[in-house]
Amino acid sequence: MYCLNPRCPKPANPQSHRFCQTCGARLLLGDRYRAYQPLGNGESSRTFLGLDTHQITDNRCIIKRFQNQTGEERFRQETARLDELSSHPQIPDLYAYFEREDAQFLVQEFVEGRSLFQEMTQDGSFDESQIRALLAEILPLLQFLHDHQIIHRDIKPTNLIRKGQPPSGGQQAELDVTSWALTDAPELTGWLQPSKIQNPKSKIQNSKSLVLVDFGAAKRLTQSALARPGTLMGSAEYAAPEQLMGQATYASDLYSLGVTCIQLLTGLSPFELFDGVRGLWHWRSVAGTVSDTLAQVLDKMLATSLGDRFSSAAAVMDVLGIRNQESGVGSPGTRVSLKPEPESHWRCVGTLEAGAGVNAIAPLPSRDLLFSGGNDGRLVVWDCDRGEALWMFEEPGVVVTTVAVSPLGDTLASGGFDRTIKLWDWQAGTRTRTLAGHTDVVTAIAFAPDSTLYSASRDKTIRQWLPHTGEAIATFSSHKAAVEAIALHPQQPILVSGGAEGAVKIWHTGTRELLRTLSGHGAQVSAIALPPESATAQSSTVLSGSWDMSLKLRNLHAGGLRYNLTGHLLPITALSCNPSARLLSTASHDTTVKIWNLETGALQATLTGHTAAVESVAFLSEKRLASAGRDGTIRLWQVS
């Protein structure tokens, strides 16, 4: 096993170790992935063959470590973009990314097979039918990338892997592993199928045979990028003249693909085929039999002048009669305007009068009970079926901001402006313990499945407590501003927090590591939700609502954006998923509650009736919902 600390002098370790025997660094990434074989080095990165310790089969992966990135924020945005592009079956999946001190890590799909360069050296040069088959697979993929304003900038035989063909001699193919270039592009929005962190059987196994790897030189092409020279990226012997000058275009990828084709046809290096004095390619005389049609296409792909070269992959496909069957692949570069589904019939079936503004509610579905806390310092236990208060405790002058109920349903926790968390035996009507330690308002609390308690505060920290002893056993510190929301994954050791600086941070509760930070919100993140695992594949999704009035659904492990939903007119205050993870409810200062379909992103219903800001929302069951607001009421809703 290899230590991932770039400064470790002796990184090799026994497989049984969890910490490096030399430097003491944690060996597992996210308590899950381990590196065991170095594959190669780049200018600012190193690649390892890794293992997913949570999988018994199909557990190989690729780990890439980056150092000295010029901007963590830009790296996060580009990682999210890579996650979105990896929905394509010919691009390796991005499983996860991690941040650790001054390094970032990508964990990607392992692609087993031979590169086209290995095929050429082991089996001999290609014939025309093989080149046509290559073009039929790669041109539609290039059109997909170009449609999303991405230039690969490093098309070459070693970056094209034919899956499922182990190299001769039993050796693993040398992979140029996908990375991602930093650009000035803004965060993308749109719908994409998420990558699966559970590492199911590779999506590449049942797709076309050629896979394009190494996006380390890839660049998003924008109008501003077209107007200014850039940095040379890619391999010089395959690079188009304009790319050598730092001004790559979509046609630059076609040039590189053309060079790849003539190398495979002749078995010779591009440097041996190009006459640098006259600026001409001499490949026809050393290639095998090639039809005039294909030869003319390759010559046009290799044209020095952009005006003489094909301008798009689609134009090459038209000449060769290749059908583009990529239209069904999701588009990460397009903001999708989602039309509302037919209005579902939610109706208010009851109103509970709290008397003062209600800031938080928490359900106990097994007993059909609801707990609430508000501005008047009162904690109330409500019988939702009978519409009456069963128990009440009041602390005048203490504003309650958040409530939570333990997994066993026997303990109620509350937090507020007095900077403490109070624990209650609600059935006995007594307070059992007060937890002190925060230095500012407690904004959110949540119980883990093992009944440990987490609390967030405007003091910029999250604390972990043992409720039965009152001991604070850990403090999570990374936010640059108040922590406004937290959520715990129901099945995984994951904690997610949202801050006033607009960041969403993902933590491992076992190791207490900060795994990654997601950006994109333009204002404080006021609500977080993690859908329970279900057959709808929402288990790898994190939902965040913000004062910028947007709702983002992203891949929990890789950060790729699935939707960016808008519709509320004022800040979003709360989120809640129903038990099947098919529906999401959002509350807002605009006095409404909205119901969304999590599978399609469509708006299903807008619930009105509150006369002031709605501060909290919670599903009571699959088709029952409660909402609470500053108007002093709790409304109960049901779909007919």
Binding residues, by number, are: 64
Q: How far apart are CA 442 and CA 398, in angstroms?
A: 12
CA distances from 421 to 364, 397, 407, 443 (A): 19, 15, 17, 10
Q: How far apart are CA 158 and CA 252, in angstroms?
A: 18
Q: What is the DSSP string of 124-144?
A: ----HHHHHHHHHHHHHHHHH
Give φ, ψ of 196 to 5 degrees. Answer: -100, 115
Tell me how far the alpha carbon of residue 631 is from its chain's centroid: 37
User: Strands 420-425 and 430-436: what pairing?
Assistant: antiparallel
Q: Which residues, in sequence order, are CB contacts of 50 under 8 Å at separation 6+? A: 33, 34, 35, 36, 60, 61, 62, 63, 107
| Eight-state DSSP code of residue 638 | E
Q: How far apart are CA 517 and CA 500, in angstroms?
A: 14
Q: Which residues are known binding-site members for ATP?
A: 64
CA-based end-to-end distance of the chain:
57
Q: How far apart are CA 601 and CA 579, in angstroms?
A: 17
CB half-sphere exposure, 335, CA atoms < 13 A? 8
Helix (H) / strand (E) element for 401: namely strand 400-405
Amino acid at 224: S
| Long-range contacts of the stretch 363-367 (C-beta < 8 A, 24+) | 363/405, 363/618, 363/619, 363/620, 363/626, 364/405, 364/409, 365/620, 365/621, 366/409, 367/409
Length of the chain, in residues = 640
| Eight-state DSSP code of residue 204 | G
Amino acid at 319: V
* CB-based burial label for 339 (10 Å; 0-12, 13-18, 19+): exposed
Q: What is the DSSP string of 6-27?
A: TT-S--B--TT-SB-TTT--B-
Task: Dig out the tokens for 157 from the structure.
Answer: 């035989």
